[in-house]
Amino acid sequence: MRAARTLRVGVIGVGSAGQRHVAAYQKCPRATVVAVVDPDPDRGRGVAHDIGADYFAGTDEAFWEAVEAVSVCAPHNVLASHAMVALARGKPLLLEKPMALTLADADAIVAAAERAHVPVMIGFVHRFRAGAQAAKRAVVAGAIGAPAFAVEHLVSGGGATPGWIWRREVAGGGVLLYNGIHGLDRLRWLLGQEVTEVYAHSATATREADVEDVLVATLRFDGGAVASFVQHIAPYPLPPGWRSEIYGSAGAVLMTPDDSLIQADSRQTTTLRAERDDRFLGEITEFVAAVQEGRTPAVTATDGRAALAIALAIYDSAASGRPATPVEPRTARGGPAG
């Protein structure tokens, strides 16, 4: 079989997430970053220089001619607009979460992807953690029986978080859209069930911001499972406090911050430790393979839309003090009605 040709990639936005994408592409033998876009010329030119790519201040004609696929790693409020331009150009797209700030924009991206007939992958990079992959295999194999209860928990320090995530006009929301949406996707993926109802409370407790830094919710799923969902990023140093736990009728799997997987059943409890975990390389490798093989990627635009719908329902519940239901796609194809 002939080896796949190297895919020429452009990265739009080289802040913390974009630089991780660039580093992962550098490790992927089937792709190379040939163009970098960033509104900060010092940062953009610096990244481009380091990897031998061209720098662009914006996505002009020369940029689109240079690239075959793009990673969009911009702030939340411009993700959807960049995505729509890329899809209008017929470019395969790796789009960072939360993909958009409204369901109308998310639906438009799903519909545009279908019209363009190109792969669109959402950056739920946590699915590519070694522990998460092992947990998914255990659940699918029936090792824990029927999933019944889950815990998704993040309480940690946030010294390295970019400042814009605490500004509503740019981020659209706080800890939920920045980090919690990973957990929402992880719960859907691991349980293999869809959220039917949420009930939530939120607060801004430990920083000056106009978005939440504390969020607590309960989630009900269509397969009968329920989940506890807790998110907080503090502005002072704390040890890693992330964990995902899935409890079933016959056992449980628990993921820990060091990417170990604890698996328990009625006979024993075992701990599996990952020797190597490069989740961004795993994500980039899957995206490049999907593009070159002309197939649907492991994480789709529909997955992104589903997680965003849950997140927006959580915000609705926190605002109203009542349970809320995630909004289903307006049409069977996921595009906006009418």
What was the pLDDT predicted at 276?
67
- pLDDT tens per residue, range 266-320: 899 999 887 667 999 999 999 999 999 999 999 999 999 999 999 999 999 999 9
The average confidence (pLDDT) of the chain is: 93
What was the pLDDT predicted at 35?
98
Q: 1: pLDDT confidence band, cut at 50, 70 and 90?
A: very low
Of 89, 121, 128, nearest to 255 by C-alpha is 128
What was the pLDDT predicted at 138?
95
- pLDDT tens per residue, range 47-68: 999 999 999 999 999 999 999 9
What was the pLDDT predicted at 4?
66
Q: 330: pLDDT confidence band, cut at 50, 70 and 90?
A: low
Instruction: Find the mean pLDDT for residues 156-168.
Output: 86
- pLDDT tens per residue, range 198-222: 999 999 999 999 999 999 999 999 9
Starting at the edge strand that comes first in sequence, how are the strands of the sheet with 93-95 ordered? 54-56, 31-37, 7-12, 69-72, 93-95, 120-122
Residue 135 near residue 261, CB atoms below 8 Å: yes
What was the pLDDT predicted at 275?
67
What was the pLDDT predicted at 2?
43
Residue, of 242 and 35, whose pLDDT is higher: 35
What was the pLDDT predicted at 305?
98
Phi-psi map region of 317: left, alpha, beta (phi>0 left; psi -120 to 50 alpha): alpha
Q: Beta strands of 22-127 (E only): which ranges?
A: 31-37, 54-56, 69-72, 93-95, 120-122
What was the pLDDT predicted at 332?
35
Q: Which CATH architecture has domain 7-125+280-299?
A: 3-Layer(aba) Sandwich (3.40)
CATH superfamily of 127-277: Dihydrodipicolinate Reductase; domain 2 (3.30.360.10)
> In the chain, which segments carry CATH 3.40.50.720?
7-125+280-299
Residues 6+ apart with CB under 8 A from 4: 30, 292
> In the chain, which segments carry CATH 3.30.360.10?
127-277
Q: Is residue 338 predicted with pLDDT exceeding 70?
A: no
251-255 and 243-248 as β-strands: parallel, antiparallel, unpaired? antiparallel
Q: Is residue 80 predicted with pLDDT exceeding 60?
A: yes
Over pLDDT 70: what percentage of the chain?
A: 95
Identity of residue 261: L
